[in-house]
Amino acid sequence: MTADCGIVSGEFTIDCGYAKRGLAVDVALDAFMQYVTVERALARNTLESYERDLRAYLQFLLQRGMNDIGQTDRTSVVLYLQALQDKGRATATISRSVASLRAFYSFLTREQMIALDPTAHLDTPRLERRLPRVLTAAEVERLLASPNPATRAGLRDRAMLELLYATGIRVSELVSLRVTDVNLSAAFLQCYGKGSKERIVPLGRLARDAVSDYLLRARTAMARDGQESALFVNHLGDRLTRQGFWKIIKKYAQRASITSHLTPHTLRHSFATHLLDNGADLRAVQEMLGHADISTTQIYTHVSRTRLQDAYASSHPRA
């Protein structure tokens, strides 16, 4: 995972002038990525985020002639974050970059590769807490009814959409599912979320029926290779990717006449909000979503409350 000469990544281009002494930036990055990959065993998406954020930062340093990571200080970090802000990067993006830099410098300091941590006492940008977009029950019904069950792809797509809405799992968790992860007779599935943390999520009847139809009538013919363990496969018979599912859900959003921006995460938001709308316990929703902190789940109580207020305002004669 070293930074190669001439590579363009993020906002900056590497001008390879590595240090003759001290800790070269590519060595520092290699050491950190090996640590989070081997010792921490972080999820692939987390590893990719770390590497993307840190390469952009290290390239920023290299363009300014700073080849030794030990020469960096608080000013170096602040200037980089200011550069991101000047380029119009979202607050969430900058906040994630701060988290990546903190993890990076904390590791280097702990391993005594550098003397001081320049991110110590660094403020994190305050995130605007925007309410997530949630589908109405009618929109969900139209979306789930969009795939054509007379085709193999339609059976697969209906099963995926039903599963997402029935369980609230992330799209990365959906495409990572194996056939053996779904227990239709016991009505549950097991998936692996952030940090490879396993959780069990119950399955409703409609989702079970959709997955069962797909397994019986489509998957064997689509998979081709009897050794393929993935539950959902593409037209080549290989495991479906996140990018592939994005294209699928965009197609069905148009077919269902959903004009607002729809992402796979919208179904996760809708799952949680609709549960709370109908009286589900917040702790139970937290467990099903796989949130480590209940404060993350509480955003859906605000969505539910806002929807209730809107319904009152539009329906009550004295609202």
- Look at residue 317 in the predicted model and tell me its pLDDT: 57
Query: Which are the catalytic amino acids?
Result: 170, 194, 265, 268, 291, 300
**CB of 13 closer than 8 Å to CB of 24:** no
Specify the pTM.
0.61
For residue 172, the enclosing domain spans 137-315
- Look at residue 123 in the predicted model and tell me its pLDDT: 75
Examine the domain organization and report whether 166 and 296 are in the same domain: yes
CATH number assigned to the domain comprising residue 24? 1.10.150.130
Mean pLDDT value across residues 230-242: 93
Residue 123 counted as domain residue? no
Q: Is 15 helix (H, G, I), strand (E, B) or coil?
A: coil
pLDDT averaged over every residue in the chain: 83
pLDDT in tens, 303-315: 666 655 555 455 5
Examine the domain organization and report whether 27 and 170 are in the same domain: no
Residue 128: pLDDT over 60: no
Environment class of 135 (CB within 10 Å of its CB; exposed 0-12, middle 13-18, buried 19+): buried
**Best mean pLDDT range from 45-49, 95-99, 158-162, 284-288:** 158-162
Examine the domain organization and report whether 78 and 213 are in the same domain: no
Residue 199 counted as domain residue? yes
Instruction: Report which of residues 206 and 70 the model is more confident about.
Output: 206
Residue 17: band (very low, low, confident or very high) from pLDDT cuts 50, 70, 90: very low
- Look at residue 178 in the predicted model and tell me its pLDDT: 94
Residue 53's nearest CA partner among 94, 90, 111, 2 is: 94
Residue 121 counted as domain residue? no
Across 23-37, 42-56, 78-92, 277-291, least confident range: 277-291
Beta-strand relationship, 188-192 and 198-202: antiparallel
* Total domain count, the chain: 2
- Phi/psi of residue 96, each to 5°? -65, -40
Residue 281: pLDDT over 90: no
Residue 302: band (very low, low, confident or very high) from pLDDT cuts 50, 70, 90: low
Residue 62 counted as domain residue? yes
Across 41-45, 85-89, 121-125, 178-182, least confident range: 121-125
Mean pLDDT value across residues 226-234: 91
Examine the domain organization and report whether 90 and 174 are in the same domain: no
As a three-state string, the secondary structure of 200-265 is: EEECCHHHHHHHHHHHHHHHHHHHCCCCCCECCECCCCCECCHHHHHHHHHHHHHHCCCCCCCCHH
Residue 11: pLDDT over 50: no
Q: What's the rounded Cα separation, in Å, for the pair 203 and 161?
A: 13
**CB of 158 closer than 8 Å to CB of 140:** no
Residue 86: pLDDT over 90: no
Q: What share of the chain in percent tops pLDDT 70? A: 85
pLDDT in tens, 138-175: 999 999 999 999 999 999 999 999 999 999 898 999 99
- Here the tokens at position 20 are 């003759």
Residue 177: pLDDT over 70: yes
Residue 29 counted as domain residue? yes
SS3 percent helix, strand, coil of the chain, rounded to 5, is: 55, 5, 35
Instruction: Report which of residues 179 and 3 the model is more confident about.
Output: 179
- Look at residue 256 in the predicted model and tell me its pLDDT: 94
Examine the domain organization and report whether 33 and 180 are in the same domain: no
Examine the domain organization and report whether 216 and 82 are in the same domain: no
CATH number assigned to the domain comprising residue 183? 1.10.443.10
Contacts of 255 (CB under 8 A, 6+ apart): 146
Examine the domain organization and report whether 71 and 168 are in the same domain: no
Examine the domain organization and report whether 87 and 184 are in the same domain: no
Q: What's the rounded Cα separation, in Å, for the pair 94 and 150?
A: 46
Q: What's the rounded Cα separation, in Å, for the pair 27 and 20?
A: 12
Residue 54 counted as domain residue? yes
Instruction: Report which of residues 131 and 147 the model is more confident about.
Output: 147
Residue 265's nearest CA partner among 143, 133, 141, 149 is: 133
